[in-house]
Amino acid sequence: MNVDEFIMKIKRRETPFYDRLYRIAFAARHFEVPLVRGLHDAGYHERRFRIATWRSFWRAAYYQPIFRSRCARCGKNLHLMNSGQGIPVIEGDLRIVIGDNVTLYDRITLAGLTVGENPTLTIGDNTMIGMPIAIMVGGEVSIGSNCLIGSNLIADNPGHNLDYKRRFQKLVKIVIGKVKIGNYVFAGHQSMIVGNVTIGDGAIVGVNTVVTEDVPPFCVVSGNPARLMKKLPFPKEMIEIVGEKEYQKYLDAKIEA
């Protein structure tokens, strides 16, 4: 009898002997040290501190400097959230411009596509980019200041050709647009922003929303495709900042819900 047959007899509990072995293995598998309040509380905080310290060391000493080396400009107080990967995946010849006080998670992808020339990604001051976003740039994607971006995908082009015969052909021309995300924008988890799209200042993109058309400033959009669900209050001080033209877009916007 080989080892595999022996283990199978235990799993099947074929005889009292094998049943006994099964119960011993079951008890060993579920064994744990009893909880000791205080001691194990301290162990939990010790573990968190040890992991955070270790990751912070590598972030500051290794990951952030090598990420900065891939940027055309990277401002002060960059913070890469190290969840285990260490550094975002950077694909292609992408020009990256990052402002001050920007936070990026490490489990994201930043890609410059071969279908465009000089693809450029710009991220403004005080903006946070969550995971697991993929930003696919054929021409230009700009994200303003003071934004919270939790999208799954931002792309300035519609992606692969709809014609199955041409989909895998080389050098198939794809229409490249421009994604411009304003300041104070919040894009919810798993949302997608695709194509030649402008999202106005102060707008909110709901969870799971797919944006393929412009979003007026200080408006809330949701759904697939995105629909205007609500207008937010438009602060008077913002009118001078965004301009009368953008404010008029806000006034002209019609709620679709």
Which active-site residues does the annotation give?
Answer: 160
Q: Per-residue DSSP letters for the chain?
A: --HHHHHHHHHHT-SHHHHHHHHHHHHHHT--PPP-TTHHHHHHHHHHHHHHHHHHHHIIIIIHHHHHTT-SEE-SS-EEE-SSS-S-EEESS-EEEE-SS-EEESS-EEEE-TTSSS-EEEE-TT-EE-TT-EEEESSEEEE-SS-EE--SEEESS--S-S-TTTTTSTT------EEEE-TT-EE-TT-EEESSEEE-TT-EE-TT-EE-S-B-TTEEEETTTTEEEEE----HHHHHHH-HHHHHHHHH-----
Length, in residues, of the chain: 257
